[in-house]
Structures are given as C-alpha cells and as structure tokens.
Amino acid sequence: MTDTIFGKILCGEIPADFVYEDEHAVAFADIDPKAPVHLLVIPREPLPSLKDAVQEDCALLGHLLHVCKVVAEEAGLDEGGYRVVTNIGEDGGQSVAHLHFHVLGGRTMQWPPG
Ligand code: 5GP
C-alpha cells in the first residue's frame, strides 16, 4: 500500500488535503496542476492502473467516476465543463502506479492531447 506516492498520501506519510473522502476513494489537488482546477481521484485499494482492473472492480471504477463528477461539481466546473483522464502505463504517460483519475477544468482544453 505504501510503495507509491499515493500509498504514502493514503497512510498520511505524505501530506495532502483531501477535498473528498469516503470508504473507497479520496480526492486531493495535484501538486503540479495543469489547469486552474486539477484534482486527483484515487481508490484506497492499491490497484496499479486501469489495465489491472478485473470484472470485480467494475463497481469501484463506476464509483471513482462518480466521485470525479462530485468533486468537479464542488469545484464549480459543472457549467463550463471539464476533463477526466486516466493515464495508463509508459506510453499513456502514467508516472504513479496507483490508479488515479485526473479532473481538469477552469480553462478550455485542447484536443488531441499531446
Ligand atoms: P500520472 O502522471 O501518473 O498520470 O499522474 C500523477 C500525478 O501525480 C501527476 O500529475 C503529479 O503532479 C501528481 N503528483 C506526484 N506526486 C505528488 C504528490 O506528492 N502530491 C500530489 N498532490 N500530487 C502528486
């Protein structure tokens, strides 16, 4: 659980202010924001990446997406819109091996992403 930065955040070893928390998930601000609002939604369970998810994780994945919606609304992004991203593996640009969804908003996003 503690072998990634996010595992250390979950156990309190590295500080982070949770903007949301429940039994299964927490959300906090990204330390290096790429938009005026940049939140990370992570499961308490140390699933490394979306590619490691199995059928039994469907409820958790749905819950995490719902938490993305909740924290986006609470951050005032509902009207203008926002982006939810999960990077997967090396080519996907994933740098922390603990599943996380980025919630980005507060500016117009570009497409396609780099
Ligand atoms: P990834 O690159 O894996 O998709 O996203 C990992 C994210 O974690 C990056 O956006 C990075 O800025 C963020 N991050 C890395 N270390 C920390 C930290 O110690 N605290 C917080 N709040 N975010 C972090």
Tens-level pLDDT at each residue, the chain (114 residues): 569 999 999 999 999 999 999 999 999 999 999 999 999 999 999 999 999 999 999 999 999 999 999 999 999 999 999 999 999 999 999 999 999 999 999 999 999 998
The CATH architecture of the domain made up of 5-105 is 2-Layer Sandwich (3.30)
Question: Ligand 1: distance of its center to the CA of 81 in Å?
Answer: 22
What pLDDT is attached to residue 1? 57
What pLDDT is attached to residue 2? 60
DSSP-assigned letters across all residues of 7-62: HHHHTTSS---EEEE-SSEEEEE-SS-SSSEEEEEEESS----GGG--GGGHHHHH
Question: Ligand 1: distance of its center to the CA of 100 in Å?
Answer: 9
Protein residue closest via CA to atom 15 of ligand 1: 31
pTM of the prediction?
0.98
What pLDDT is attached to residue 52? 97
100 included as an active-site residue: yes
Q: Pocket of ligand 1, candidates 10, 14, 19, 30: which has the most ligand atoms within 8 Å of its Cβ, to mutate?
A: 30
For the chain, what are the domain ranges?
A: 5-105
What pLDDT is attached to residue 114? 82
